[in-house]
Amino acid sequence: MPDIDIFFEKIKQKMNNNQLAAIKHEDGPALVLAGAGSGKTRVLTIKIASLIYQKLCGTNELLALTFTNKAANEMRERINTFVGNKLDFPWIGTFHSISYKILRLNSDYIVGNYNKNFSIYDPSDQLKVIKSIIKDNDLDLNRYDPSKIRSKIDSLKNSLLYDEWEFDDEIEQKIIQTYQTRLETLNAMDFGDLILKFYELLTKNNNFKQKMQNLFKYVFVDEYQDTNNIQFRLINIISNPQRNLFVVGDEDQSIYGWRGANIENILQFKKFFPDTEVYKLEQNYRSTPEILNVSNSLISKNTERLEKKMWTINKKGNPVKLVSFEDDRTEAKYVARNILSEKSTFPFKDIAIFYRTNAQSRVLEDELRRANIKYRIFGNISFYERAEVKDCISYLKFITNKNDEIAFDRIINNPTRGIGLKTLQKIKLIASQENINLFETIKKIRTEKTFSNKINIAISKLIESIDFFIEDIDKFSSLSEAFEKFLNSIEYFDSLKDDDKLENVSEFLNFIAEFENNNFNDINDFLNSLMLSSAVDDLDNSSSFVTLMTVHLSKGLEFPSVYVVGIEEGLFPHSRSMFSVAEIEEERRLCYVAFTRAIKSLNLSYCKIRRQFGSIIYSNPSQFLDEIDSCEDLNIIDLNTSDTNEEKVFHYKFGNGYIDIADTDNYEDVVTVKFDSGVVKKVFINDLEEVD
């Protein structure tokens, strides 16, 4: 039996027919329409593994593009599991990380004054640059909102309109143009630049384009429905002339239109690539039939979608629960109490609470704390956004890119060196006048004794520490060891009075060491792996915490038990989407994503009254709930009455009664129950049964 037959014989027991057909696809474009929980990652990874197994291409001849580092890492691990080797896949990564890598390797060709040690600026760095430009020009920060300008910059780059956009406001145009010039001066790129500069190389340098096309025999794209215009163009160019393009996606999970994703890329794929073979993965392996039926009932109301209906052979579970409440406080109390009542079935780590906007988390947090339920807000301030960690990153960024003004601003007086705003401005002025980088500038200042003796001593110490660190990298066995010595030399540890901050810096050093053990090349590679990480990459499901997050962040995840709260008109769908059919359909897809994250239990809820911006808002149930209320797998419970603070239960000893939801002081293992006999008792939650 040929080797490839042995390979397919090995895997076919674990694959359905449609999955197997997609994996066996030969040359030419292929579109795999993979519904929620249909095993798309398995198909994608086994497809790549089969190419390696058949020796149809080498590991360095295939390009696989993802949207998160987590997805890329998982892909590598799964492929190696199938091929039975620990192979290196240099071109499996996110759009941004692959673009960064290619730009570094081909930095001589980049349009503009860049070298290979360019910095990557995250959104907060972008804001700092924009704010400084607005202040330099004595403009009003209220009229020229830095956040809105940053969003416009990102949008223009993602849509390939950066050089063609016609501005109504000449001042805004000047800000944006100055921003781009400033980044080039700082030897820095934002996320949009990474892909834009790569695209420019492909379109303006024919030799480079041919080099890329010859390099990649096969091109794979995960989550294809999330691609924007420039990403589509990149894929189109690189996959020529072989057209061995294999994309996996689900139009029903296209939820990023607001940040440039174009659903037409997947809806019109056959139009763009006429010889495409289409494979539909409709069997769901994740959820119960009840959850899937409710989800199908919802998404079927969309018109902008391809024909696909998810089904499952998973065993039946409980109906999806839809509960209405008088107000958001009662909703939050109910969620907390329900989590406690089900903790023998669903430990905290198995539970997620989803909401449409971040503001909704506050009242949920209040009630979870009262109930002594451990939780974490996912996608809020990440580890790498903590001040002391940002300090460490900035030091490393400045050491590798001595034009990095944003990093310099952060480190020059941290720890305190007596360098105030005026001194900092003078340093930058000298750098500009002399046309030298900031490190050379402070060396010049020290030699010429431009400032006070105290400042000169502090600057000298910093210069010596940086010089020693650069030398020590080669002397020490690891970057982490050299960097720890550097932080000691500048007395950074002494400046941290908080134990938590010291622990965070220690953890950062641990992370450097871990990176070195895995795939360390140089400091730039380490730094930019941090800059290009997403919120999803930080998720750890091993800890015993309930997870709270917006629905947008939930995509690609799954939890045994899911609560989706605040499903009300004006909130979900959001009020900003109410006047556009296309935007309503995207909101419906977002709701569908929320539902399909659930494995065994799905709880939906809405309120009659919600507090927003200090005011009471009267709400109506979401139109999405009207669209599913006829589904036989939906259990509708109305707590929107005078009995909002009670739920019927049965106790083996005391009989029927009602839990006092308003009793917020006894949330751990016991609750107060008013029994029909007139007796009021505190009893263990585990001794109670729900009564319909």
pLDDT of 596 above 70: yes
Q: How many CB atoms lie under 10 A from the CB of residue 443?
A: 17
What's residue 612's pLDDT? 66
Q: Both tokens of residue 630?
A: 């006829």
Predicted structure pTM score: 0.81
Position with higher pLDDT, 259 vs 540: 259
What's residue 531's pLDDT? 76
Mean pLDDT throughout 104-111? 85
50 Cβ contact partners less than 8 Å away, ≥ 6 residues apart: 4, 7, 8, 23, 24
What's residue 524's pLDDT? 80
pLDDT of 1 above 60: no
Mean pLDDT throughout 526-535? 74
The angle formed by the CA atoms of residues 248, 254 and 257, to the nearest 5 degrees, is: 130
pLDDT of 211 above 80: yes
What's residue 520's pLDDT? 57
Residues 683, 673: Cα–Cα separation, whole Å: 7
Mean pLDDT throughout 500-517? 79
At residue 500 the predicted structure's pLDDT band, cuts being 50, 70 and 90, is confident
What's residue 666's pLDDT? 46
Position with higher pLDDT, 624 vs 108: 624
What's residue 540's pLDDT? 61
Provide the annotated active-site residues.
40-41, 222-223, 253, 597
The angle formed by the CA atoms of residues 21, 26 and 29, to the nearest 5 degrees, is: 95
What's residue 543's pLDDT? 66
pLDDT of 90 above 80: yes
What's residue 642's pLDDT? 41
Q: Give the residue from 447, 387, 376 showing the smallest Cα distance to 414.
A: 387
What's residue 662's pLDDT? 47
Q: Both tokens of residue 29?
A: 């474009």
Lowest average pLDDT, out of 200-204, 426-430, 612-616, goes to 612-616
Lowest average pLDDT, out of 169-173, 395-399, 517-521, 599-603, goes to 517-521
Mean pLDDT throughout 13-28? 90
Q: Give the residue from 314, 249, 301 showing the smallest Cα distance to 279.
A: 249
The DSSP symbol for 572 reads T
573 preceded by a cis bond (ω within 30 of 0): yes
What's residue 563's pLDDT? 98
| pLDDT single digits (tens) 386-433 | 788 889 999 999 988 888 999 999 999 888 888 888 888 888 888 888
Mean pLDDT throughout 479-494? 87
Residues 165, 155: Cα–Cα separation, whole Å: 11
3-state DSSP percent of the chain in helix, strand and coil, to 5: 50, 15, 30
| pLDDT single digits (tens) 643-679 | 445 567 788 777 887 776 545 444 456 777 877 766 7
Residues 657, 648: Cα–Cα separation, whole Å: 6
What's residue 558's pLDDT? 95
Highest mean pLDDT among 333-342, 357-366, 511-520: 333-342
Residues 205, 609: Cα–Cα separation, whole Å: 59
Half-sphere exposure of 582 (CA within 13 A, CB side): 7
At residue 87 the predicted structure's pLDDT band, cuts being 50, 70 and 90, is confident
Residues 345, 240: Cα–Cα separation, whole Å: 52
478 Cβ contact partners less than 8 Å away, ≥ 6 residues apart: 512, 513, 516
Where do the DSSP E strands lie in 332-391?
A: 351-355, 375-377
pLDDT of 497 above 80: no
Mean pLDDT throughout 349-354? 96
- In percent, the amount of the chain with pLDDT more than 90 equals 46
pLDDT of 242 above 90: no
Q: Which residues pair with 355 in a beta bridge?
A: 550
Mean pLDDT throughout 250-258? 93
Lowest average pLDDT, out of 281-295, 393-407, 447-461, goes to 447-461
Instruction: Give Cα separations from 631 to 132, 292, 567, 581, 603 (angstroms).
Output: 55, 11, 17, 24, 15
What's residue 454's pLDDT? 84
What's residue 663's pLDDT? 53
Lowest average pLDDT, out of 115-129, 482-496, 565-579, 654-668, goes to 654-668
What's residue 219's pLDDT? 97
What's residue 299's pLDDT? 96
Residues 567, 564: Cα–Cα separation, whole Å: 7
Mean pLDDT of the chain: 86
